[in-house]
Structure 1
């Protein structure tokens, strides 16, 4: 349907999540599903607005029609620049890597974007692990040889993680998530993934390996999970930042937490615990655990009340 030019988004947008079955998925994202759900894409350019004057339109349609009002002055271009997911990992994900912007255009075609991403751990069973980066002393030639020979696990570095840890993963970083993790992921708007190793699962059409591409883009980058201290009520705590996004944790208890987009960037909020009441432009929305909302840049000031913890992603 066509989008009238006069309907610029200035009110919070509640989106319809997209759930995806995965061989490694669990039961926490959509308990009623008969099959394992690994991912919920909660803020994505193809998500539809659930209600209000923009009901039925996608985030991408609104972004293209009203980039300044939705995205803000800091945005480059008209495409919604971030993709936010929730992941429920019952088994190991494939060991994979993402290209940077230049590599994505060279290897996958013009208009493709690379993928820098960050993880924030929401739940972790004792001893839960993930792979991030390569072991100390790994040189580029040895890494490339190992990838092409199917021996990447000789160099992959494992980390034990717990709830509250954050990992920033620049493009080119080898990575994988292990069993027992529930996490929030923010990344560039891209689904370009090169699979390096898949734990000897059958190489189906949707789970093929990409060894030549992986060998070209994987770097010897080393990263480490960063623990965070428990936030105080009313606090906005920066967890990580990069050229593509800033990830913050907000804690509410009693006194209203005041915020302002300043017209510079949208604010994407996901509740991780408790109940949040968001008031903007005279309208109040109630959000529970794992629910998300996008506050357009044009919304300006808004307030958050309730007893809650939430994550907020925005442009830097």
Structure 2
């Protein structure tokens, strides 16, 4: 079984962006508000049946292909459901600042949303304008009652002033643990890897097209605010969430691009040129530059810049050949057994 090529399928959203996704994927943007693409996705946007789902060249949903032959795609062990791949990968091209928001952890999702996954995520910076930053965690402890008041007043400037601001550059990887407040400046183009859900608690909905009633996962703020950490994220804790491995040129081997704390949730690698084989298992491959091939005992697939492939477990151990540069996203180490018992610690 060979990797499946997935044509571009940009996602319309409230915020501006998408020109850099279009340039990478070799398409013309239809609007200036197609700032995301969900790569090899078998999950859809919260409240939608199909927005975000990956589709093959012949129009089939990848979700249906995986569900029909799960062992071939992910191996013998099952996850949340028949189409669960253990990971969601996105391209995100923001031309305006994204709102201050938070994602729930696995314990909250299990008890309130009937889902074993929360939404820990990580960002890998592909391109950025000068002086752009991400905002991650509180820079001092925040009083919950004060946070409630600032949320009701939609005081985004107060929230940002109380958050850690991290100026980013291409090749940086940033882990965003569930429960941690965050936002992204306009001007940043990144690949995002995350748990396969679309659970978001918007503390700042006024800069979006959402309303207050659409900002709390249909649960109410009284129910969701306990999922929001109010603890400070100090310098040492913040440093542990950042990797600069990708700021050096890619090598002829699969190099981890994220902090080790991400490993139980998802993994992200890059590689260039000729590599040794990597283990069999589901993966999402984005060809970021050049041309080459994915090669295993099951066959060979030619690849080139801008293409995205869903690589099934049944492709076996595979290697990269030629002059391509790739990003490879995979489920967390030990998945799906790490789903048992709530949050990974």
**Which band: TM-score by shorter chain?**
0.7 to 0.9
- Residues 125, 271 of structure 1: CA spacing in aligned structure 2 closer, same or farther, 3 A cutoff? same
Judge conservation of contact 1:88–1:181 (CA < 8 Å) in 2: yes
SS at match of 1:85: strand
TM-score, with structure 2 as normaliser: 0.76
- Residue 130, structure 1, aligned to residue 134, structure 2: yes
- Aligned ranges for residues 223-242 of structure 1 at < 5 Å? 223=238, 224-228=241-245, 229-240=247-258, 241-242=262-263
Tell me the residue number matched to 1:7. none
Tell me the residue number matched to 1:71. 74
Distance 2:203 2:65 in 1: 36
Displacement after TM superposition at 1:232 (Å): 4.7
Tell me the residue number matched to 2:228. 218
Tell me the residue number matched to 1:5. none
SS at match of 2:193: strand
Q: Compute the RMSD of aligned alpha carbons.
A: 2.5
TM-score, with structure 1 as normaliser: 0.83
Tell me the residue number matched to 2:341. none
- Aligned ranges for residues 200-279 of structure 1 at < 5 Å? 200-201=206-207, 204-205=210-211, 208-210=214-216, 211-219=221-229, 220=231, 222=233, 223=238, 224-228=241-245, 229-240=247-258, 241-252=262-273, 256-262=274-280, 265-279=281-295
- Residues 118, 84 of structure 1: CA spacing in aligned structure 2 closer, same or farther, 3 A cutoff? same
Judge conservation of contact 1:25–1:39 (CA < 8 Å) in 2: no
Alpha-carbon displacement from aligned partner over 1:188-215 (angstroms, at most 9, x marks no partner): 11011111114x4365459944354552
Judge conservation of contact 2:289–2:324 (CA < 8 Å) in 1: yes
Higher relative strand content: 1
- Residues 213, 231 of structure 1: CA spacing in aligned structure 2 closer, same or farther, 3 A cutoff? farther
- Residue 158, structure 1, aligned to residue 154, structure 2: no
Distance 1:191 1:24 in 2: 17
**Which deviates the most, 21-30 or 119-128?**
21-30
Displacement after TM superposition at 1:238 (Å): 0.9
- Residues 56, 201 of structure 1: CA spacing in aligned structure 2 closer, same or farther, 3 A cutoff? closer
- Residue 285, structure 1, aligned to residue 305, structure 2: no
Displacement after TM superposition at 1:181 (Å): 0.5
Judge conservation of contact 2:88–2:194 (CA < 8 Å) in 1: yes
- Count residues with an aligned counterpart: 292
Displacement after TM superposition at 1:242 (Å): 2.8
Q: Among 325, 330, 337, which residue is 1:314 paired with? A: 330
- Residues 102, 119 of structure 1: CA spacing in aligned structure 2 closer, same or farther, 3 A cutoff? same
**Which deviates the most, 296-305 or 159-168?**
296-305
Alpha-carbon displacement from aligned partner over 1:111-160 (angstroms, at most 9, x marks no partner): 3631111110000111011111111x415xx1463144325334222111
**Which deviates the most, 171-180 or 12-21?**
12-21
SS at match of 1:122: strand
Distance 1:193 1:154 in 2: 21
Gapped runs of 5+ residues in structure 1?
1-9
Gapped runs of 5+ residues in structure 2?
23-27, 43-52, 334-345
- Residues 112, 144 of structure 1: CA spacing in aligned structure 2 closer, same or farther, 3 A cutoff? farther
Q: Among 38, 45, 67, which residue is 1:41 paired with? A: 38
Distance 1:144 1:271 in 2: 47
- Residue 58, structure 1, aligned to residue 65, structure 2: no
SS at match of 1:29: helix
Displacement after TM superposition at 1:278 (Å): 2.1
**Which deviates the most, 113-122 or 149-158?**
149-158
Distance 2:172 2:102 in 1: 20
**Which deviates the most, 299-308 or 179-188?**
299-308
Distance 2:209 2:73 in 1: 41
Distance 1:138 1:92 in 2: 24
Displacement after TM superposition at 1:187 (Å): 0.8
Displacement after TM superposition at 1:74 (Å): 6.2
